[in-house]
């Protein structure tokens, strides 16, 4: 019943300054709205639609930036890991939450390696999975003795190049006992929808965020950028940074009401 | 920005007494929650999964019951029409809202006949349609000069025997300018899921209702029965009548907040 | 194990001359390929995407044309019926096969009226149904004592504005004991995909036809027109008339092989 | 236009003897049917539904077994790789075709590492991808200068716990210019459908295989086991080994016909 946390940041790390600017701005907006804040960014986009898509600064430089954001802004940080051998490095660099990408959410070795770090592990539900398929996925992490698990809804395949978010997933994921996160910006992606890149419907991210928050969730995940249309990845679905304060104010109001009035069993 | 209306009643008409009992109970619960109320019931279930499914009292007896509910309870009434030639009869009997069933939402003659009565027309979005496909559907009714149109989301086909509700549909339907309704109990149907009948997931109807209401809608549609498991149709997805007051109180709170904070364009 | 029948003709009836030209051409091509032939055309397109779409000549004129095609060409004729009261008229006019449109395949009264005529009844599987949902649908017709039933696969909803054909449907529909038809041209429709009209992927109709024929079916359904791009409806998915002989020759070869080598149970 | 190749073997490697028995039996059956043969088995099932699922002998022992099968039976061998660092080892051990698992088909580093070995690379289309999304995927491999690429259809997400195979995918994948493979046994999986394991519909694998072969493909992929119901993984969808000769005889007949009569453009 704690207030909503906001996991937010740019899709991929660009420079230290860029990361600090966004983190500072988001931390301030979350504080104003009475919400928690976790900085999010990727050091490597390991599964871009096309080879030509930019991938980010890589593990070493990326972890260094994340460590400085954590230190300067004083917020926890989250990043996604793509190989078992990256997990320990990320945790040692102080990453608070290791995120398992949706495509990789069934890869046993990655889940075990992440669990073994003792860091929190946020598992994105694969676009090819039902909510109830996430129980066995979470158990892989929990088998390491690490129960600091979060489960993220980010849409499910619905025909070609389209995702749909099934709101029944929120209470179904919650049955596992783990906190549930709504990834509002990836859920509006149109995978591969631009031919050599993914499209997105930025305008619907607040719609899905609000609907999920009204059901009572632990956190909302939102990618944001000061200039999405010129961002190196995920531009079509990221929310402009200057639209975040108003959005967070709305979400905070729905979050308070949802926690006053939890869904009846 | 008016308060949410609740379109509610049993799936099919049984007896006059039964209709009055449910209507009276729902009218009271809606008033207590500060919500509008429209009584809903079908005189004929024209597309049961199996021939053996009960169909209801038929047009003449059904319209007579609806007229009495309207008179005694003082609420508007809604019923679904399945043939062009039923529209005028229903409107003349005082039915306030003619509803076009989802399977029939592309049948031009039915839409025109409903429009020509001058009654309000609630068109359910077909399980096989995208939100943007409803513009041309509404235009068929509007071509009669009748703009008293409502558009209802009730889920879209998602694999076999399953529906999913895409919450992006709510703002997309709203772009037509017509009021949007969320049918929370049909959206949790499992069509054909019991072999010779449709299954349902009653427990998720409040989930979808709340998510849609938080986005700002005109009305929510909920089938209810004092004993769903023994109802002649749609038992698996109807909400027990005695659970309605608490549900409506929750929905009213989310409705007020949604109307204070409309989705930003 | 009889040779494949081909149900083919224009989407909608235009003029008697037009119908005769297509029927004559198709009858000749089917004979050359050693296949049976049934002329198909609609007298009324009752569920066009938009009000502005052309609907055809109507019941009376349409039945008259169909009767003349039947007489002059000597082939059976099929047409779709949209209201219970049209069934008897169509059967009396000599229509050999009454077809139930996919959207209407659960409308009990229409199925019963069609069954009662004693004519053969071809039921298209709704885009919102699983193959196993067609058992109870066929039983509605069979309850009239008329077992001359055919079941047609025409694709199932797959995301928005898209259909997919599940080839598992062919043997699953066959389990009912009724002959199975593959509607190759509607299965490549993109419903509503052009905004105010349906799109289509004509180039894939032969793909789906061949795949289904290789599994051993009773008939293939193909809409054809001498100038699809200027046809009043379904242009994007109809096959040009002059491409039919080569297509039928291919299908006949696969049909012979499929019937030599039925799927093993 | 070469005859169909059959990529077949058990889902996971068990013992050397087991592998040899299956490979010998399959090689004989393929020869009898006039078809090519590639032995397939996994050394590690890296993404089992549950942690408790058996994973196989691991990289070193697995590659040793594959090498001996190759030597003794004289057929090419295929295995799937899950980490970039496994690719070179597999290629050096003589694996002829490295297979990229469907969940991993967008992982750039894995695709590049596989490509750099110079071995053939069979990329399974993700359950979350459209056929046209595979162009940029194949380009990642081709960027290494290795054009020995195969693309495999294995079904696409269709609601929860269900896949559907879209036969339009076959000609669409072929537009890349790379050989197309139909994975008939994974396409009938029901992912997660048994709760802690995936279900399957073995009886439909021959249906999908035949439909795809009739469209003209380079290879069919079929997992087989002498006792599927007691196999360590994928039992519900594997074909019994003793059913293979009859199935291959059928497929060979359809393959010959398909190559005589290629789909017309």
Closest Cα in chain D, distance from residue B169 (Å): 18
Q: Which residue has the tokens 């039996």?
A: D25
Closest Cα in chain C, distance from residue A158 (Å): 5
User: SS3 for D83?
Assistant: coil
Q: Find chain C residues with C-beta within 8 A of D167's C-beta.
A: 165, 167, 207-208, 211
Average pLDDT over residues A100-118: 98
Please report which confidence band the pLDDT of residue A127 belongs to, taking 50, 70 and 90 as the band edges: very high
Q: Find chain C residues with C-beta within 8 A of B138's C-beta.
A: none
Interface test with C, best of A156, A158, A166, A201 (most C CBs within 10 A): A158
Nearest CA in chain C to D247: C264
Residue C76 maps to a domain: yes
Residue C38, C-beta contacts closer than 8 angstroms, at least 6 positions apart: C5, C6, C7, C8, C75, C76, C77, C78, C96, C97, C219
Nearest CA in chain A to C161: A159
Residue A254 maps to a domain: yes
Residue D265, pLDDT > 80, answer no
CB D10 within 8 A of CB D19: yes
Closest CA to C238 of C226, C250, C227, C228: C228
pLDDT at B253 (0 to 100): 98
Residue A220, pLDDT > 80, answer yes
Residues of A with CB under 8 A from a CB of B: 156, 158, 164-168, 170-171, 188, 201, 203-204, 206-208, 210-215, 243, 246-247, 250, 253-254, 257, 260-261, 263-265
Least confident among A46-60, A93-107, C161-175: A46-60
Q: What is the pLDDT of residues D84-131, one digit of tens each?
A: 999 999 999 999 999 999 999 999 999 999 999 999 999 999 999 999
pLDDT at B264 (0 to 100): 86
Q: Find chain C residues with C-beta within 8 A of A162's C-beta.
A: 159-160
Q: Find chain B residues with C-beta within 8 A of A210's C-beta.
A: 214-215, 263
Contact C143 B48 (CB under 8 A): no
Buried b / exposed e over D200-209, threshold 16 CB at 10 Å, is bbbebbbbbb
Average pLDDT over residues B179-196: 93
Closest CA to C122 of C131, C114, C130: C114
Q: With residue D5 as reference, give the H or E element that holds it.
A: strand D5-9
Residue B265 maps to a domain: no
Residue C11, C-beta contacts closer than 8 angstroms, at least 6 positions apart: C41, C42, C45, C223, C225, C231, C232, C233, C234, C238
Q: CA end-to-end span of chain C, whole Å?
A: 16
CA separation, residue B211 to residues A263, B156, B201, B258, D258 (Å): 11, 16, 16, 10, 51
Contact D128 A157 (CB under 8 A): yes
H helical segments located in chain D:
16-33, 59-73, 84-92, 108-116, 134-142, 169-174, 205-214, 244-260
Provide the residue range defining the domain that includes A247: 5-260
User: SS3 for B233?
Assistant: coil
Contact A211 B206 (CB under 8 A): no
Total domains in chain A come to 1
* Structure token digits, residue D173: 């994948």
Q: Find chain D residues with C-beta within 8 A of A132's C-beta.
A: 192, 195
Residue C116 maps to a domain: yes
Contact A158 C159 (CB under 8 A): yes
Strand C189-190 to C199-200 pairing: antiparallel
Contact D165 C167 (CB under 8 A): yes
Nearest CA in chain A to B262: A250
Burial of residue D251, with CB atoms counted within 10 A of its CB: 0-12 exposed, 13-18 middle, 19 or more buried: buried
| Residue B113 CB neighbours (<10 A) | 22
State the average pLDDT for chain D. Answer: 96
pLDDT under 50 in chain C at which residues?
none
Q: What is the pLDDT of residues B233-261, one digit of tens each?
A: 888 999 999 999 999 999 999 999 999 99
CB A103 within 8 A of CB D106: yes
Residues of B with CB under 8 A from a CB of C: 46-51, 55, 82-83, 103-104, 106-109, 126-130, 132-133, 136, 139-140, 143, 156-157, 160-161, 191-192, 195-196
Burial of residue D260, with CB atoms counted within 10 A of its CB: 0-12 exposed, 13-18 middle, 19 or more buried: exposed
Q: What is the pLDDT of residues A3-32, one digit of tens each?
A: 999 999 999 999 999 999 999 999 999 999
Please report which confidence band the pLDDT of residue B194 belongs to, taking 50, 70 and 90 as the band edges: confident
Residue A265 maps to a domain: no
Average pLDDT over residues A250-261: 98
Instruction: Report d(CA C72, CA C91) in Å as an integer.
Output: 18
The 3-class secondary structure across C29-65, one letter per residue, is HHHHHCCEEEEECECCCCCCCCCCCCCCCCHHHHHHH
pLDDT at A194 (0 to 100): 82
Nearest CA in chain D to C201: D168
Closest CA to D86 of D75, D95, D76: D95
Average pLDDT over residues A206-212: 98
Average pLDDT over residues D164-175: 98
**Dihedral sign (CA D192, D194, D198, D199):** negative
Please state the length of chain B.
265
Nearest CA in chain A to D82: A107
Closest Cα in chain B, distance from residue C224 (Å): 24
Average pLDDT over residues B147-151: 98
The CATH number for C126's domain is: 3.20.20.70
Least confident among A51-65, B188-202, D171-185: B188-202
Instruction: Report d(CA B121, CA B112) in Å as an integer.
Output: 10
CB A9 within 8 A of CB A52: no
Residue D32 maps to a domain: yes
pLDDT at A255 (0 to 100): 98
pLDDT at C1 (0 to 100): 80
Q: Is D83 left (phi over 0), alpha (psi -120 to 50) or beta?
A: beta
pLDDT at C223 (0 to 100): 97
- What one-character-per-residue DSSP string does chain C give? -PPPEEEEE-SB---HHHHHHHHHHHHHHHHHHT-EEEEE-BS--TT-SSTTS---S-HHHHHHHHHHHHHHH---EEEE--SHHHHHHHHHTT-SEEEE-GGGTT-HHHHHHHHHT-SEEEEEPPTT--GGGHHHHHHHHHTTT---EEEEE--EE-STT-EE-BTTHHHHHHTTSS-EEEETTGGGEETTTTSSS-EE-GGGHHHHHHHHHHT--SEEEEEEESSGGGSSS-GGGPEEGGGHHHHHHHHHHHHHHHHHSPPP-
* Structure token digits, residue B184: 């929370």
Residue C265 maps to a domain: no
ipTM confidence: 0.96
- What one-character-per-residue DSSP string does D22-80 give? HHHHHHHHHHHHT-EEEEE-BS--TT-SSTTS---S-HHHHHHHHHHHHHHH---EEEE
| Residue D262 CB neighbours (<10 A) | 11
Instruction: Report d(CA D5, CA A120) in Å as an integer.
Output: 47
CB A126 within 8 A of CB A103: yes
Closest CA to C9 of C86, C92, C99: C99
Phi, psi for A199 (deg, rounded to 5):
-90, -175
Residue A87 maps to a domain: yes
Least confident among B13-22, C130-139, D186-195: D186-195
CB C91 within 8 A of CB C118: yes
* Structure token digits, residue B194: 């019991």
Average pLDDT over residues D222-234: 94
Cβ contacts below 8 Å, chain A against chain C, sum to: 13
pLDDT at D194 (0 to 100): 82
Instruction: Provide the CA C159 distance to its chain's centre, in angstroms.
Output: 23
Residue D220, pLDDT > 90, answer yes
Average pLDDT over residues A225-232: 93
């Amino acid at each position: 019943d704690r207030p909503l946390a906001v996991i937010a940041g740019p899709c991929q790390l660009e420079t230290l300054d860029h990361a600090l600017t966004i983190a500072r701005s988001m931390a301030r907006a979350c504080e104003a709205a009475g919400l928690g804040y976790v900085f999010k960014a990727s050091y490597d986009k390991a599964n871009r639609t096309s080879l030509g898509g930019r991938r980010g600064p890589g593990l070493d430089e990326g972890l260094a930036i994340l460590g400085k954001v954590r230190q300067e802004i004083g917020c926890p940080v989250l990043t996604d890991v793509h190989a078992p051998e990256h997990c320990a490095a990320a945790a040692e660099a102080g990453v608070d939450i290791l995120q398992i990408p949706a495509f990789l959410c069934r890869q046993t070795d990655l889940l075990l390696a992440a669990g073994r770090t003792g860091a929190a592990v946020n598992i994105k539900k694969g676009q090819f999975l039902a909510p109830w398929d996430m129980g066995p996925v979470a158990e892989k992490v929990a088998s390491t003795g690490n129960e600091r698990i979060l489960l993220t809804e980010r849409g499910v395949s619905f025909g070609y190049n389209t995702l749909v978010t099934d709101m029944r997933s929120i209470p179904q994921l919650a049955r596992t006992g783990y906190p549930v996160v709504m990834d509002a910006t990836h859920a509006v992606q149109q995978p591969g929808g631009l031919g050599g890149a993914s499209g997105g419907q930025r305008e619907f991210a607040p719609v899905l965020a609000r609907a999920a928050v009204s059901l009572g969730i632990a956190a909302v995940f939102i990618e944001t950028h000061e200039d999405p249309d010129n961002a190196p990845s995920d531009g079509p679905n990221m929310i402009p940074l200057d639209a975040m304060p108003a959005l967070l104010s709305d979400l905070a109001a729905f979050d308070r009401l949802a926690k006053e009035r939890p869904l009846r069993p």
